[in-house]
Chains A and B, each alone.
Chain A
Amino acid sequence: DQQVKQNSPSLSVQEGRISILNCDYTNSMFDYFLWYKKYPAEGPTFLISISSIKDKNEDGRFTVFLNKSAKHLSLHIVPSQPGDSAVYFCAARNNQGAQKLVFGQGTRLTINP
């Protein structure tokens, strides 16, 4: 099941710079997208989401961009902070009434001081 793909298993960014995490999807029925952050030995915690009727959603240092034609979304974190070091999961939900989320493989973000 490769409906949601995060092609970069890891990313290293210097503190204060912008972190850009990418996600691609194949299912055109997806209409709601979420980013979750996960620390070791903890459950995923919600970061930010976007509906397919929008192309951008911003919350503080976090911005999610959606390009429906390319079936691509990205998460921008600026400025990056050491506490942002975690695994980031992209997730999607379709509009067919199913409540489940389909997750990508995750990207491990490391912020270097």
Chain B
Amino acid sequence: EPEVTQTPSHQVTQMGQEVILRCVPISNHLYFYWYRQILGQKVEFLVSFYNNEISEKSEIFDDQFSVERPDGSNFTLKIRSTKLEDSAMYFCASTSGTGREKLFFGSGTQLSVL
């Protein structure tokens, strides 16, 4: 079965540094997402992306965050200046986009901000 792949699996960074989390969604999917899960908390929506633009974003997704689909296969999440509270597991997801399709999630990137 096709899968969403994420790299790296773990990322450790210093507070204030920029990080880029990478994802390769399933190839024929049209909608792409980033979610995150802070340890012990629920999975939270960050942003959805369709047709090369953000379709929806949450309050968490402030000016420090950005997403990009640079080459038609990769989907990236950039955090410009990381904060301690950005430490979380970040999940990429994709769907074929009919609106009633299940989301396929990657295995996540564990981001630790020191």
A43-B107, A99-B31, A99-B56 known; A104 and B42 CB under 8 Å?
Answer: yes
**Can you pick out 27 interface pairs between chain A and chain B where the beta carbons lie within 8 Å of each other?**
A32-B100, A36-B105, A42-B107, A43-B4, A43-B93, A43-B105, A44-B43, A45-B105, A46-B103, A49-B102, A91-B43, A98-B56, A99-B31, A99-B33, A99-B48, A99-B55, A99-B99, A100-B48, A100-B56, A100-B58, A101-B45, A102-B45, A103-B42, A103-B43, A104-B42, A106-B42, A106-B43
Minimum CB–CB distance from B110 to chain A (whole Å) comes to 8
Which residues of chain A have C-beta atoms less than 8 A from B55's C-beta?
99
Which residues of chain A have C-beta atoms less than 8 A from B43's C-beta?
44, 89, 91, 103, 106
How many residues of B sit at the interface, in one of the four size bands?
20 to 34
Quick one: which of A2-57 are within 8 Å of B by CB?
A: 32, 34, 36, 41-46, 49, 51
A41-B107, A43-B6, A44-B43 are known contacts; what are 8 more A-B pairs with Cβ within 8 Å?
A42-B108, A43-B107, A43-B108, A89-B43, A97-B99, A99-B48, A100-B56, A106-B42
Determine the residue in chain A with the shortest Cβ distance to B41: A105
Is there a chain A Cβ closer than 8 Å to B44's Cβ? yes
Determine the residue in chain A with the shortest Cβ distance to B43: A103
Minimum CB–CB distance from A100 to chain B (whole Å) comes to 4
How many residues of A sit at the interface, in one of the four size bands?
20 to 34
Is there a chain A Cβ closer than 8 Å to B104's Cβ? yes
Q: Enumerate chain A interface residues (CB-CB to B < 8 A).
A: 32, 34, 36, 41-46, 49, 51, 89, 91, 97-106
Determine the residue in chain B with the shortest Cβ distance to A6: B42
Instruction: Say which residue of B50, B56, B97, B106 sits within 8 Å of A43 (CB atoms).
Output: B106
A-B contact count (CB 8 A): 56
Which residues of chain B have C-beta atoms less than 8 A from A98's C-beta?
48, 56
Quick one: which of B33-60 are within 8 Å of A by CB?
A: 33, 35, 41-45, 48, 50, 55-56, 58
